[in-house]
Amino acid sequence: MTSAHVAPDAVGAARNWTGMLRRPQGSDALAIRELVAETQVLDLNSAYAYLLLSTDFADTSIVAEDDGDVLGFITGYRPPPRPDVLFVWQVAVAPRAQRGGLAAAMLDALVCRMLSEEGAGPLTVEATVSPGNARSRAFFGAFARRHDVPLTEQPHFTADQLDAEGAHEDEPLLRIGPIDAPR
């Protein structure tokens, strides 16, 4: 944790985020991309990629909007070979809203929404996280503890698949679940 995450005008502390959470829509794509750029740690993808996620994958994604501002988002999808999985692709919260429980609230709400769909079975959350990304590991570890389910890790995407020059770390796969009821 670094002190830079709680700005003097932080909006994050002790907020109830529930009323701000919704499915993304096409008009959110550029704001999501700007938020990714603002984090300075996530891979910045094209506006088109965020547009696809915000429309075709809206049922497996979520945004937090406060007074017209996108404060946070999660993009995800169900991998076609593993439809019982929510693969979390990117998670970000605006620096001014960090450490107030927003990312946790978004992931809990997204999982709850998916578990509430008609005919839904147990859901396993997957994400790839590099060994050096302590914040992300803490985030998924806290999620596993909140839902009282195991978190396992296995090799997945390798550094050579991600960058020919070796500038990227391995991205092992975290699997959290199965979760069978909303919390």
Residues that bind ligand COA in the complex, under the rule CB under 6 A: 1, 5, 39, 41-42, 91-93, 98-104, 135-136, 138-139, 142
CB of 32 to ligand COA, least distance (A): 12
- What minimum distance in Å lies between the beta carbon of 17 and ligand COA? 9
Task: Specify burial of residue 88 (Cβ count, 10 A radius: 0-12, 13-18, 19+).
Answer: buried
**Closest residue to ligand COA in the complex (CB):** 103
Q: Minimum distance between the CB of residue 161 and ligand COA, rounded to whole angstroms?
A: 19
> Buried b / exposed e across 69-84, counting CB within 10 Å, b at 16+?
ebbbbbbbbbeeeeee
How far apart CA 63 and CA 105 sit, in angstroms, is: 11
Query: Closest separation between CB of residue 40 and ligand COA, Å?
Result: 8
CA–CA dist 183, 179 (Å, integer): 9
The nearer residue to ligand COA, 20 or 92, going by C-beta atoms, is 92
DSSP 8-state symbol, 101: S
150 vs 164 by CB, closer to ligand COA = 150
Nearer Cβ to ligand COA, position 44 or 138? 138
- Read off the tokens for 14: 């002790």
